Structure 1
Amino acid sequence: MSDGRRTALGVACGAAAGALWGLVFVAPEIVRPFGPLQLSAGRYLTYGLFALILLAPRWRQVTALLGRREWLALGWLSLLGNSLYYVLLASGVQLGGVAMPSLVIGFLPVAVTIIGSRDKGAVPLRKLAPSLVLSAAGVVCIGWEALGQVRGADFSRQALGLLCAFGALASWTTFAVSNSRWMARLPQISAHDWSLLIGVVTGLQALLLVPPALMMDKTAHAAGDWLFLLAVSSGIAVFSSIIGNGLWNRMSRLLPLTMVGQMILFETLFALLYGFLWDRRLPTQFEGLAIILVLASVTTCLAAHRTKPAAAAVLAQE
């Protein structure tokens, strides 16, 4: 596969993953009667079940490639990228609304790209500066409206929501970097199977969330409410976790880590779009400008990774 086709396919997978992942930002609003622990437990129990069913025909073949170190890595990645991340994110959404966590998570490309710039053969950080500046400017524009809307809200509630959002940022940044590097070490395992393995381990971790999720809920829910939670959890598990994660892992093998960071911007973009649809409104001037800046950031990042033909020929001869 040529570099151009490889990059185009990687960007397409990243955009599709972002579109599916953006759904997780509105899910806590859709099932607001239920807490973050209940939503996370429901989502990841169904995710683990579906992943196990899909992986079952190849279970022995795939697990034979894993040792103790790989299983520990799967447990760590499942915690950072799924269980812990979504509890923190859902808490941030329910405490501060969709916009504030979207703003904080929007810093993911900056964090991941800076870390990825240290990898061998990565594009120098100075070449990524325009993309990072555009990304930061877009996030500031997104936050302008969000911060203005919460001035009259309870400070402690907003502060806790902001803290949860930053915790989610730290958790997923660590996951994105570690997951990309682990996949590079295990080329014998397909991106899809690696995603399903993470799903199975996440499902096991979700079992630990069930007791506190039930004990901490003091609200009496009707049977229809539980069925609705199950439907939302299943939908998020299939589309965001199984399909979205599979697309993300495919993209991680096609693009360098510095570009992987920029692809996370699509999640922010779609999260805002879904938030506008949920609120039944159009974006404000600042939000519209933020969308343009986000797209410009991805475009300049792609430009920074283009190799001139002469340079490519020299590299090919080495």
Structure 2
Amino acid sequence: MMAGAQSTTNSFNTSVPGMASGLMAGVAAGAMWGLVFIAPRLAPDFAPVQLSAGRYLAYGIVAAILVAPSWRRLTARLTGREWWALLWLSFLGNILYYVFLANAVQRGGVAMTSLVIGLLPVAVTLAGSRHAGAAPLRRLLPSVALSVAGLACVAWQSLSAGGMGSMTGLLCAVGALVSWTAYAVQNSRWLARLHSVSAGDWSLLTGVVTGAEALLLVPASLAAPMAHTAQQWCVFIGLVASVAVLCSVAGNALWNHASRVLPLALTGQMIVFETLFAMLYGYLWEQRWPATLECVALALLLAGVVSCARVHRGHGAA
């Protein structure tokens, strides 16, 4: 935000409309990010490193175009520490995360990957329970328990259907979980420190840096199989461009807004919407209705978010 903007904690404690906009931004970001789980299925003939390189090169190009008019103003406000943070956050939350996730989806399937990534609300909530604006951990335990119960239902459904996937896919999903948890925690801390850079501009700067880092993936992408038809290349280009705009530019900007106006523990719970939308898109892709146990899981996951929001609203009012 501009110089007079409030910090994350102050915004939460004094502005209920700010909290509402943060919640809506978190839900919308989840809707955008859920599309990421379907993308590898739409281009199964391309290696995960090619999907990651294509997505983030496109993200970098779009971000550079959007940030160009204010580039000098923004860069004048950044020190070496902020640039190092952008390099590290871009790698953790974008490059490394998506390589892991694309591998997990292609090797283990959407259901298994959604299950493991669905642990993000629990992981980030626990990591953020000691941050400013967060409710005491003991008051967060019911919402965490609801989330864990919902994920347990999804796990049981996946195992009973034989959909747990390969061990390699599972390990890649765990890698994605760890890398994005670290990103969410560190990104929230930096957004709380930066009062002269808006959440949207921080997202665009992250995109420019991510695009530069994606250039390092080009040699590995060229080493992967390149024998594709013209139609497959058209699908690939359209897919990575769409994912870059919707998931990276729009989704990250929405998430940064939510991270700035909500406490980290509540922000962590908002990540559950990525899982919910990923599952919804998966059902549409598979052309089926969710099973009974999956419906129970969805209800429990939503209940966990509502419970966490109520705890933080009461905590902020107090």
Q: Report the TM-score, using the length of structure 1 for normalisation.
A: 0.93
Does structure 1 conserve the Cα–Cα contact (< 8 Å) formed by 2:149 and 2:300? yes
Q: Corresponding residue for 2:85? A: 73
Distance 2:274 2:76 in 1: 34
Residues 117-196 of structure 1: pairs in structure 2 closer than 5 A: 117-150=129-162, 158-196=166-204
1:121 offset after TM fit, Å? 4.3
Unpaired runs of 5+ residues, structure 2, are 1-10
Residue 228 (str. 1) matches residue 235 (str. 2) = yes
Tell me the number of residue pairs that the alignment of Structure 1 and Structure 2 aligns: 306
Deviation, structure 1 residue 307: 2.9
Separation in 1, partners of 2:30, 2:254: 9
Residue equivalent to 1:315:
none
Residue 150 of structure 1, CA deviation: 2.9
* Equivalent pair of 2:132/2:263 in contact (CA under 8 Å): no
Distance 1:59 1:308 in 2: 39
The residue aligned with 1:105 is 117
Counterpart of 2:282 (choices 271, 275, 299) is 275
Q: Which amino acid aligns with 2:228?
A: H
User: Cα offset for 1:183?
Assistant: 0.7
Bigger shift: residues 219-228 or 237-246: 219-228
CA contact (8 A) 2:131 2:263 kept: no
Alpha-carbon distance, 1:147 to partner = 2.0
Residue 24 of structure 1: how far off its partner (Å): 0.1
Q: For structure 1, which runs of at least 5 residues remain unmatched after alignment?
A: 313-318
* TM-score, length of structure 2 as denominator length: 0.93
**Which residue is equivalent to 1:60?**
72
Taking the TM superposition and a 5 Å limit, the aligned residue runs for 1:8-87 are 8-87=20-99
The structure-2 alpha-carbon separation of the partners of 1:57 and 1:308, relative to structure 1 and needing over 3 Å to count, comes to closer
Say which of 64, 86, 91 aligns to 2:103: 91
One-letter identity of the residue aligned with 1:42: G
Q: CA deviation at 1:308?
A: 6.9
| Contact 2:133 2:263 (C-alpha < 8 Å) held by counterparts | no
Paired residue for 1:258, among 258, 265, 268? 265
Instruction: Report the Cα offset of residue 4 of structure 1.
Output: 2.1
The whole-number CA distance in structure 1 between the counterparts of 2:142 and 2:216 is 44
- Structure 2 letter corresponding to 1:292: A
> What amino acid does structure 1 have at the position aligned with 2:189?
R
How many Å separate the matches in 2 of 1:249 and 1:308?
22
Q: Distance in 2 between matches of 1:198 and 1:121?
A: 25
Q: 8 Å contact 1:100–1:147 — kept in the other structure?
A: no
Contact kept, 8 Å, 1:18 with 1:265, in 2: the verdict is yes
The one-letter amino acid paired with 2:73 is Q
**Counterparts in 2 of 1:107 and 1:82: CA distance versus 1, 3 Å:** same
Q: Select the residue among 284, 288, 292 that pairs with 1:285.
A: 292
Distance 1:308 1:75 in 2: 35
